[in-house]
Amino acid sequence: MYLVKTPWLLKKLYPQLVWNADRAQRVIYLTFDDGPISVVTPFVLKTLEKFNAKATFFCIGDNVQKHPDIYQQLQAKGHAIGNHTFNHLKGWKTEDEVYVNNFIKADELLKTSLFRPPYGRIKRSQIKQLRALKPDLKIIMWDVLSGDFDINLKPADCLKGVLKHTRDGAIVVFHDSLKAFERLEYVLPRALEVWSKAGYKFKAL
């Protein structure tokens, strides 16, 4: 189960995490988790370029090692890079030392102050240790979860949910993964077209 719109109570419980950006700006912050991979990430890059959009890619270290050429394209196109651990670890089910070391392994490749915990699940103790390790670290969550990873979600319904809940300053999560591609391929260009016509800009975090 997942919620497209992040509940305000969850934001209150973790105020030290970043859930959305400035609501006074007509800007949407698109984020893409789990890449880079072949086919899907290049599709995202091409679609973003068509709409003059910048985004933030939360990369898995192992995928960066496997696809260095695609990772270099992300950087060359001016998109922001975030850490998504080296092996996509779920914080709630991982010992702190293992989790932090996996973060460090990815950080050696990515060298970024942005981090998104896989599945959005991280212990308070892990937050504390990561911040001690990297004081400038910004842990980026979201206020709109597209659900593109849900194989039971029809692409049209995925689009409907994203458009319904996205507003000024929203941080929106998509996934440049094979599992999400059927929905992502349908939703991303259509959502960008609607938002562009509504006067939105698309910036990296």
Active site residues: 33, 175
Task: Answer for the pair 184, 175: CB distance below 8 angstroms, yes or no.
Answer: yes
Task: Mention every residue, 6+ apart, whose C-beta is less than 8 A from residue 107.
Answer: 83, 134
Q: For the chain, give me the number of helices (H) and strands (E)?
A: 8, 8
Largest CA distance in the chain: 47
Instruction: Decide if 172 contacts 162 (C-beta within 8 A).
Output: yes
